């Protein structure tokens, strides 16, 4: 809108548009490091690259060491595959195994053999948050733009015991699936999968950090808080209660499953598809404790990641940097979770008279 | 012997009593040709002096007996009278305008400039407003104020004011004592003040009088003409952009007068013609200003009725049609002010004067879209959809104010009074109405319509005393107290004010001042640019008032005839500034504007040099400012709580203004302005980020807001006014050139992401380019004004 008005103002006046001498000093290449280290994981990844004003390039070989509790662990560079999505990206992945406990001081150092690049960073794993309770209920909702369409959601209410002082948190949900595939005349096949269903939290004052959006809002309920981070400033007492909902379609949509054929022809083409499955879903509600720096970092990249950031109409976003000798951010967080098992579902795909699967592999009814 | 001695003592006592008997002379100083009151005129008797107040009233207490009094005003012939005063006397003086520009007689007191106890106060010369070359030859009050030290425009050529590191909402613009919220037309290229209607303009940058409150950076007090009490006069004018008309005259001679001004862009007159040529869009603005003044018999009472209405509108109409569908679209944006006020001046006695004002003030911005679409499909079905979208923002003030001037003795000018304002704010209202033909192919929905309203009760009292302590030392202490109540919460603020001056016979003066100010409204503006869609928002129970503490020190010299020199330094600390948080959408939003902003602190400091030549054929000034302004938001939502340059931080600002009276018929003017570039936010380098889900991305790295300094801007303007007298009036041709050497200063700056081939890496890399939009290159213009 503003750019439109700018142009219209120009039409009314004599005007010129030309490029400015944009004298941004050419900066030398700088080592870039980034990572998100969680106490709930046993394998941790640090990504490295080299960048300047304009571009990011692959980093040269680095000696990377992580020191935890006085013990040094050498990171190994991982050969990436297509599944990692890193094949064509310019950053390198280094990993190390080890438990990270709340209170651990984690120091990461990286350097090239010739000493051209050298960087260190140090962070402390925050205390474990206390996720005291998770309640769920099924609700039906409508939205402004599709008033005749009713959606079914699983609504969560999460209770957090908040210690004294200022505290910062992140919330997410991980769905774990144990799936048994069925096909007449064929043995059952069992597969497992995980995914993160989309959390709709725009109508909660804590998860939207006070910017509550109702279902009747003009521009929908999707929040820019992509990582569902929040602070305890909006808690009314020693216990904070946050709520959100997840669409049933998002939990039980089997289209995400990479279902192999039940039987293949010698040339590899599908001979027969599975025609049903038994789906056992478990939802892990994860509450992460964050230091303030991590909270600021996730807030910054989360707005950009939400899909609602348009630089012409929004304030610029600064990104924190906690690596000495390089650019980047190494984030740390501790994790507590509560798991919720959902009722087992039987889903039938159906095959046509020729025995071929129906064109819609997700005709489940809720 | 005893009798002789007793007789001598008695005689001495009688003489002493006679010598100490004081009388008060008071009255009005007016222009003898028009009856217009003269504000700030000087009255001098011996070493005692006074000035007329904002309404032309003066009072001076002097020893009784034979004395000589001189009344003077710049541009007028002084009058000196020898009097034998035995009691309080009312003397109304009518001064005659002089063709020769000469300095006013020295007065012991003045409201602005070196003689004043105050510092950081400048009176803008009316001649300078009319003769200083500005854009399109349009004389503009705010453009001239921008050339004063300590004041800058936000962008080249625009009339926004940023005073001593403060934002545009921190200036109190008063039109005859009533505040104007948005004093700009055409995105700030013109101000709402028409020079024909202006009588006096005073700028306060620091050392604020206690009678003013509500803003923390500056007060711009604009007083308008009352209207000619004796004859009808006026002017019509045409410039490159606008047409104007001004008429004033008596309704009842020497009793009631009126003054009316109108100005509008040419496009408002040729709207139909513009559409006839096929243009779907048009933009225009207009100002209407009126005033009626009535003097009651007895000379003790005056009544004034003020009216101002101004509007800017941009609209766009489009009609599209093909075989199956038709669509009509109209988009409009309009904003403007409406001010009405009733004022009453009363003279209680020779020492006590009062002014009482009742006023209504409204500012509104409306953005709307209407779309009507109709479609006919091949299968015989049809669709009809109407969509109406409106976005409103605005405020209304109802106010009552009364203030008193009391001069018990010449050494004390005491002012006191109070004000009550009822505010109603509607920061944002969004309404959407959709209607279809019921065929099922469209949407029917009625949404919104009632925005959140904020109400505020704003009550204040003030007291100040301008004291002369001896021949060389003067002090002005004052106190302004405000109580602001909103949403069940009350904010109380005590604002002390103090100004000190020590002057020497050699023409050197040293001044010091301290002011505390409070502000109860904010203008939310993005860090990228300011537009009429910016929101005026009040304080609430969660958003507290903005407060500032400003200290200043200065040295002044006027020992060289016709010249004035000053060097002032200041430091200002501000608490409670508001800005949008990082990543916030500052366009259309929800009712939760309070959650989009963060409160922080600011600091600004600088040095201002001002050199003015006030007499002779060539007059003008040089103003240089060296300054810095920063902000910090400890909450962490903006640049992680670090200090960063304020958006309008400008290190150097230099303005040179020269006006030359070449002949009786030709006036020449020249200005040259230089300003360090403004700030913008640019990506500093590329970085990678990892999110909690393991996604790694390349991203632009920004360490803090306003991290990039744009190039400096400068330009030269020239103008000439050719006067010609006719039997019934005078015509003036104005020829001016703005930006003579066509300096391409940036008015708007856009970032573009492009790609270029990098031979070193053998791949295409992202590159940020800056594109500047210069809407003010060399602009010659011609204007014509006929005064009758």
Question: Could you give the C-alpha distances from B777 to A5, A46, B161, B573, B724, in angstroms and in order?
Answer: 19, 52, 21, 37, 31
Residue B244: both structure tokens together: 């104007």
Task: Check if B704 contacts A (Cβ < 8 Å).
Answer: yes
Please check whether residue B575 lies inside any domain of the structure.
Answer: no
Chain A contacts of B779, Cβ < 8 Å?
14
Q: What is the mean pLDDT of residues B85-91?
A: 91
CB–CB of B688 and A91 under 8 A? yes
List the single residue in A1, A51, A310 with the smallest CB-CB distance to B686.
A51
Please say which residue of B275, B295, B315 terminates a domain.
B295
Q: How far is CA A188 from the centre of its chain?
A: 33
Query: Which B residues in the span 166-205 are in contact with A, Cβ-Cβ below 8 Å?
Result: 186-187
Please say which residue of B99, B130, B161 terminates a domain.
B99
**Above 90 in pLDDT, residue B766?**
no
Please check whether residue B57 lies inside any domain of the structure.
Answer: yes
Chain A contacts of B750, Cβ < 8 Å?
3
Of A171-180, B237-246, B386-395, B458-467, the least confident: B386-395
When divided into structural domains, chain B yields a total of 2
Interface test with chain B among A51, A85, A315, by most B beta carbons within 10 Å: A315
The dihedral of CA B72, B78, B83, B88: what is its sign? Answer: negative
Task: Check if B443 contacts A (Cβ < 8 Å).
Answer: yes
Please check whether residue B50 lies inside any domain of the structure.
Answer: yes
The span from the CA of B206 to the CA of B143, in Å, is 20
Q: Which of B383, B359, B360 is nearest to B371 (CA)?
A: B383
Residue B278 structural domain:
235-295
Exposure string for B772-783, b = 16+ CB within 10 A, e = fewer: bbbbbbebebeb
What ranges make up the beta strands (E) of B377-488?
382-409, 412-436, 445-448, 454-469, 473-486
The span from the CA of B612 to the CA of B123, in Å, is 12
- Shortest distance between the Cα of B33 and any Cα of chain A, in A, equals 41
Q: What is the mean pLDDT of residues B528-539?
A: 68
List the single residue in A34, A57, A299 with the smallest CB-CB distance to B689.
A34
Backbone phi, psi, residue B559, to 5°:
-75, -10
Write the CB contacts of B592 (distance below 8 Å, at least 6 apart in sequence).
A210, A211, A212
Query: Which B residues in the span 416-435 are in contact with A, Cβ-Cβ below 8 Å?
Result: 430, 432
Please check whether residue B10 lies inside any domain of the structure.
Answer: no
Please check whether residue B568 lies inside any domain of the structure.
Answer: no
Q: What is the mean pLDDT of residues B178-206?
A: 86
The span from the CA of B534 to the CA of B578, in Å, is 13
List the single residue in B582, B692, B749 with the smallest CB-CB distance to A318.
B582
pLDDT value at residue B383: 74
Write the CB contacts of B35 (distance below 8 Å, at least 6 apart in sequence).
B94, B226, B228, B229, B230, B254, B257
CB–CB of B689 and A308 under 8 A? no
Its ipTM equals: 0.82
Interface test with chain B among A54, A83, A85, A92, by most B beta carbons within 10 Å: A54
Identify the three-state secondary structure at position A83. Answer: helix
Please check whether residue B70 lies inside any domain of the structure.
Answer: yes
List the single residue in B595, B639, B770 with the smallest CB-CB distance to A22.
B770
Residue boundaries of the structural domains of chain A: 30-124, 130-264+271-348
Side-chain half-sphere CA neighbours of B495 within 13 A: 33
Exposure string for A130-161, b = 16+ CB within 10 A, e = fewer: ebeebebeeeebeebeeeeeebebbebebbbe
Q: Say if CB B711 and CB A55 are below 8 A apart.
A: no
Side-chain half-sphere CA neighbours of A53 within 13 A: 15
Closest residue in chain B to residue A19, using alpha carbons only: B771
List the single residue in A14, A217, A315 with the smallest CB-CB distance to B583.
A315
CB–CB of B771 and A20 under 8 A? yes
CATH code: domain of residue B256 = 2.20.25
Of A142-146, B7-11, B134-138, B269-273, the least confident: B7-11
Q: What is the DSSP pairing of strand B679-680 with strand B563-580?
A: unpaired
> What DSSP designation does B103 have?
P
Closest residue in chain A to residue B698, using alpha carbons only: A56
**Above 50 in pLDDT, residue B16?**
no
> Rounded to the nearest 5 degrees, what angle is found at the Cα of A265, between the Cα atoms of A260 and A269?
60
The span from the CA of A226 to the CA of A201, in Å, is 10
- Which residue would you say has higher pLDDT here, B666 or A316? B666
CB–CB of A13 and B775 under 8 A? yes
Closest residue in chain A to residue B689, using alpha carbons only: A34
Q: Which of B17, B73, B14 is nearest to B42 (CA)?
A: B73
CB–CB of B692 and A300 under 8 A? no
Q: Which of A160, A190, A194 is nearest to A336 (CA)?
A: A160
**Best-predicted range by mean pLDDT (A6-10, B105-109, B282-286, B620-624):** B620-624
Chain A contacts of B768, Cβ < 8 Å?
22, 24, 54
Q: Is A354 exposed, middle or buried (0-12, 13-18, 19+ CB in 10 A)?
A: exposed
CB–CB of B699 and A319 under 8 A? yes
Residue A281: both structure tokens together: 């879903």
Q: Which of A95, A60, A99 is nearest to A76 (CA)?
A: A95
- Shortest distance between the Cα of B712 and any Cα of chain A, in A, equals 12
Q: What is the mean pLDDT of residues B27-41?
A: 90
- Shortest distance between the Cα of B304 and any Cα of chain A, in A, equals 38
**Above 80 in pLDDT, residue B171?**
yes
> Rounded to the nearest 5 degrees, what angle is found at the Cα of A313, between the Cα atoms of A311 and A318?
45
Chain B contacts of A303, Cβ < 8 Å?
582-583
Region for A350 from its dihedrals, namely left if φ exceeds 0, alpha if ψ lies in -120 to 50, beta otherwise: left
Q: Say if CB B127 and CB B621 are below 8 A apart.
A: no
Task: Check if B765 contacts A (Cβ < 8 Å).
Answer: yes
pLDDT value at residue B440: 58
CATH code: domain of residue B32 = 2.60.40.1120
In this structure, which CATH number among 3.40.50, 1.10.10, 2.60.40, 3.30.70 belongs to the domain A30-124?
Answer: 2.60.40
Residue A27: both structure tokens together: 């900066």
CB–CB of A216 and B586 under 8 A? no
What is the distance between the terminal CA atoms of chain A, rounded to a whole angstrom? 42
Q: Say if CB B198 and CB B123 are below 8 A apart.
A: no
The span from the CA of A347 to the CA of A278, in Å, is 6
The span from the CA of B290 to the CA of B517, in Å, is 32
Chain A contacts of B580, Cβ < 8 Å?
315
Please check whether residue B260 lies inside any domain of the structure.
Answer: yes
Q: Output the tens digit of pLDDT for each of chain A's 366 residues.
A: 444 454 555 444 445 556 555 555 567 888 999 999 999 899 999 999 998 877 788 888 899 999 998 899 999 988 766 666 655 678 889 999 999 999 999 999 999 989 899 999 999 999 999 888 888 888 887 766 666 677 888 899 999 998 888 899 999 999 999 989 888 887 888 888 888 888 888 788 888 776 666 545 555 434 568 899 998 888 887 888 888 989 888 888 777 666 777 778 888 887 777 888 888 999 999 999 999 999 989 988 887 776 666 666 678 888 888 999 988 999 999 999 999 998 888 887 655 544 555 544 443 333
> Rounded to the nearest 5 degrees, what angle is found at the Cα of B612, between the Cα atoms of B609 and B618?
145
Q: Say if CB A211 and CB B590 are below 8 A apart.
A: yes
pLDDT value at residue B618: 93
Chain B contacts of A1, Cβ < 8 Å?
533, 587
- Shortest distance between the Cα of A105 and any Cα of chain B, in A, equals 19
CB–CB of A227 and B701 under 8 A? no
- Shortest distance between the Cα of B526 and any Cα of chain A, in A, equals 7
**Best-predicted range by mean pLDDT (B103-107, B369-373, B377-381):** B369-373
Q: Other C-beta atoms within 10 Å of B116: how many?
A: 22
The helix (H) or strand (E) run that includes residue B267 is: helix B266-269
List the single residue in A38, A55, A210 with the smallest CB-CB distance to B686.
A55
Question: Could you give the C-alpha distances from B490 to B395, B459, B484, B485, B780, in angstroms and in order?
Answer: 20, 11, 6, 4, 54
Please say which residue of B250, B273, B295 terminates a domain.
B295
User: pLDDT by residue (tens digit) across B706-756?
Assistant: 888 888 899 999 999 999 999 889 999 999 999 999 998 887 777 776 776
CB–CB of A86 and B696 under 8 A? yes
List the single residue in B448, B688, B704 with the smallest CB-CB distance to A47.
B688
Chain A contacts of B590, Cβ < 8 Å?
211, 213, 217, 219
pLDDT value at residue B718: 94
The span from the CA of A257 to the CA of B96, in Å, is 95
Query: Which B residues in the span 320-339 are in contact with A, Cβ-Cβ below 8 Å?
Result: 333
pLDDT value at residue B673: 94
**Above 60 in pLDDT, residue B92?**
yes
> What DSSP designation does B380 have?
S
pLDDT value at residue B48: 81
CB–CB of B640 and A320 under 8 A? yes
DSSP class per residue in A220-235: -S--S-TT-EEEGGG-
Task: Please give the mean pLDDT across all residues of chain B.
Answer: 85
Please check whether residue B225 lies inside any domain of the structure.
Answer: no
- Confidence category of residue B761, pLDDT binned at 50, 70, 90: low
Identify the three-state secondary structure at position B225. Answer: coil
Q: Which of B501, B493, B496, B538 is nearest to B520 (CA)?
A: B538
Chain A contacts of B637, Cβ < 8 Å?
299
Chain B contacts of A90, Cβ < 8 Å?
698
Chain A contacts of B704, Cβ < 8 Å?
318
**Above 80 in pLDDT, residue B535?**
no
Q: What is the mean pLDDT of residues B310-326?
A: 83
CB–CB of A11 and B281 under 8 A? yes
CB–CB of B448 and A218 under 8 A? yes
pLDDT value at residue B454: 83
The span from the CA of A123 to the CA of A291, in Å, is 9
pLDDT value at residue A257: 67
């Amino acid at each position: 809108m503003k750019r439109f008005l700018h142009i219209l103002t120009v039409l009314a006046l004599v005007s010129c548009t030309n490029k400015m001498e944009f004298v941004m000093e050419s900066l030398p290449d700088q080592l870039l490091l980034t990572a998100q280290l969680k106490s709930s994981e046993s394998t941790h990844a640090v990504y490295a690259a080299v960048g300047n004003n304009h571009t990011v390039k692959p980093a040269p070989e680095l000696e990377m060491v992580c020191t935890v509790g006085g013990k040094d662990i050498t990171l190994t560079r991982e050969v990436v595959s297509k599944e990692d999505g890193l094949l064509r990206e310019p950053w390198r992945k280094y990993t190390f195994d080890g438990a990270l406990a709340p209170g651990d001081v984690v120091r990461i150092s990286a350097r090239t053999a010739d000493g051209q690049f050298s960087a260190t960073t140090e962070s402390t794993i925050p205390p474990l948050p206390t996720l005291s309770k998770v309640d769920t209920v099924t609700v039906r909702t409508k939205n402004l733009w599709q008033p005749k369409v009713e959606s079914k959601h699983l609504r969560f209410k999460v209770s957090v015991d908040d210690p004294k002082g200022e505290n910062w948190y992140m919330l997410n949900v991980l769905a774990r699936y144990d799936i048994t595939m069925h096909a007449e005349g064929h043995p059952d096949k069992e597969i497992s999968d995980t995914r993160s269903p989309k959390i709709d939290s725009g109508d909660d004052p804590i998860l939207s950090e006070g910017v509550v959006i109702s279902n009747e809002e003009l521009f929908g309920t999707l929040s820019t808080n992509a990582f569902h981070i929040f602070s305890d400033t909006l808690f009314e007492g020693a216990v904070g209660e946050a709520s959100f909902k997840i669409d049933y379609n998002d939990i039980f949509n089997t289209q995400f499953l990479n279902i192999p054929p039940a039987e293949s022809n010698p040339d590899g083409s599908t001979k027969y598809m599975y025609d049903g499955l038994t789906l056992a879903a478990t939802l892990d509600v994860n509450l992460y404790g964050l230091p303030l720096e991590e909270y600021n970092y996730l807030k910054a990249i989360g707005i950009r990641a939400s899909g609602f950031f348009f630089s012409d109409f929004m304030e610029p976003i600064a990104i924190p940097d906690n690596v000495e000798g390089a650019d980047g951010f190494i984030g740390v967080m501790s994790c507590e979770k509560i798991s919720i098992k959902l009722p087992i579902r039987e889903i039938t795909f159906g095959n046509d008279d020729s025995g071929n699967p129906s064109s819609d592999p997700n005709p489940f009814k809720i | 012997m005893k009798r002789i001695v007793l007789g001598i003592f008695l005689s001495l006592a009688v003489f002493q009593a006679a010598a100490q008997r004081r009388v008060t002379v008071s009255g009005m100083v007016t222009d003898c040709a028009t009856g217009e009151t003269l504000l700030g005129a000087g009255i001098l008797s011996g070493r005692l002096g006074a000035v007329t107040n904002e309404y032309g009233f003066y009072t001076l207490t002097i020893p009784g007996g034979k004395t000589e009094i001189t009344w003077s005003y710049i541009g007028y012939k002084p009058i000196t009278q020898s009097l034998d005063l035995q009691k309080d006397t009312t003397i109304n003086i009518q001064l005659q305008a002089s063709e020769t520009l000469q300095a006013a007689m020295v007065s012991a007191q003045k409201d602005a400039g070196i003689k004043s106890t105050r510092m950081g106060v400048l009176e803008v010369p009316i001649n300078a407003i009319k003769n200083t070359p500005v854009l399109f030859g349009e004389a503009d009050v705010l453009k001239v104020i921008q050339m004063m030290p300590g004041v800058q425009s936000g962008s080249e050529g625009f009339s926004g004011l940023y005073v001593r590191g403060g934002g545009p909402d921190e200036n109190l613009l008063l039109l005859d004592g009533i505040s104007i919220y948005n004093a700009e037309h055409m995105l700030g290229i013109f101000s709402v003040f028409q020079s024909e209607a202006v009588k006096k303009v005073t700028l306060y940058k620091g050392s604020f009088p206690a009678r003013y409150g509500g803003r923390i950076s500056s007060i711009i007090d604009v007083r308008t003409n009352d209207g000619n009490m004796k004859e009808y006069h006026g002017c019509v004018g045409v410039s490159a952009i606008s047409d104007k008309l001004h008429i004033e005259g008596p309704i009842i001679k020497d009793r009631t007068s009126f003054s009316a001004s109108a100005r509008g862009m040419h496009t408002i007159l040729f709207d139909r013609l513009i559409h006839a040529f096929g243009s779907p869009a048009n933009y225009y603005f207009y100002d209407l200003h009126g005033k009626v003044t009535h003097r009651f018999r007895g000379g003790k009472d005056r009544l004034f009725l003020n009216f101002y209405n101004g509007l800017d509108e941009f609209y766009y109409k489009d009609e599209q049609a093909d075989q199956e569908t038709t669509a009509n679209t109209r988009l409009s944006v309009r904003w403007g002010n409406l001010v009405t006020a009733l004022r009453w001046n009363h003279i209680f006695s020779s020492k006590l004067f009062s002014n009482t004002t009742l006023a209504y003030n409204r500012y509104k911005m409306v953005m709307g879209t209407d779309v009507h679409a109709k479609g006919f499909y091949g299968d015989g079905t049809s669709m009809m959809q109407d969509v109406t979208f409106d976005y409103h923002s605005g405020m209304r003030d109802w106010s009552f104010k009364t203030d008193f001037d009391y001069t018990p003795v010449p050494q004390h000018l005491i002012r006191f009074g109070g004000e009550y304002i009822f505010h109603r704010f509607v920061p944002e209202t969004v309404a959407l109405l959709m209607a279809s033909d019921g065929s099922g192919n469209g949407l029917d929905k009625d949404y919104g319509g009632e925005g959140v309203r904020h109400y505020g009760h704003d009550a204040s009292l003030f007291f100040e005393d301008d004291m002369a302590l001896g021949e060389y030392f003067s002090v002005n202490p004052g106190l302004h107290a405000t109580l602001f109540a909103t949403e069940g919460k009350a904010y109380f603020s005590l604002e002390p004010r103090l100004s000190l001056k020590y002057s020497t016979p050699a023409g050197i003066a040293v001044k010091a001042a301290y002011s505390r100010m409070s502000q109860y409204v904010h203008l939310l503006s993005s860090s990228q640019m300011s537009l009429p869609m910016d929101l005026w928002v009040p304080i609430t129970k969660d958003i507290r008032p903005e407060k500032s503490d400003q200290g200043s020190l200065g040295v002044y010299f006027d020992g060289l005839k016709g010249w004035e020199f000053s060097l002032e330094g200041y430091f200002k600390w501000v608490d409670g500034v508001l800005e949008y948080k990082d990543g916030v959408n500052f366009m259309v939003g929800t009712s939760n504007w309070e959650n989009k902003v963060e409160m922080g602190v600011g600091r600004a400091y600088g040095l201002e040099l001002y050199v003015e030549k006030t007499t002779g054929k060539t007059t003008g000034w040089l103003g240089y400012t060296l300054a810095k302004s920063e902000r910090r938001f400890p909450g962490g939502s903006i640049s992680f709580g670090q200090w960063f340059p304020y958006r309008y931080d400008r290190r150097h600002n230099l303005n040179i203004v020269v006006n030359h009276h070449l002949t009786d018929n030709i006036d020449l003017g020249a200005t040259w302005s230089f300003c360090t570039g403004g700030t913008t936010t640019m990506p500093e380098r590329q970085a990678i980020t990892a999110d909690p889900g393991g996604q790694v991305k390349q991203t632009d790295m920004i360490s803090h807001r306003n991290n990039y300094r744009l190039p400096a801007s400068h330009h030269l303007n020239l103008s000439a006014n050719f006067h010609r007298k006719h039997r019934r009036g005078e015509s003036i041709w104005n020829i001016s050139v703005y930006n003579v050497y066509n300096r391409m200063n940036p008015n708007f700056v856009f970032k573009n992401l492009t790609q270029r081939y990098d031979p070193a890496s053998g791949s295409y890399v992202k590159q940020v380019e800056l594109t500047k939009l210069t809407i003010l290159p060399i602009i010659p213009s011609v204007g014509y004004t006929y005064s009758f």
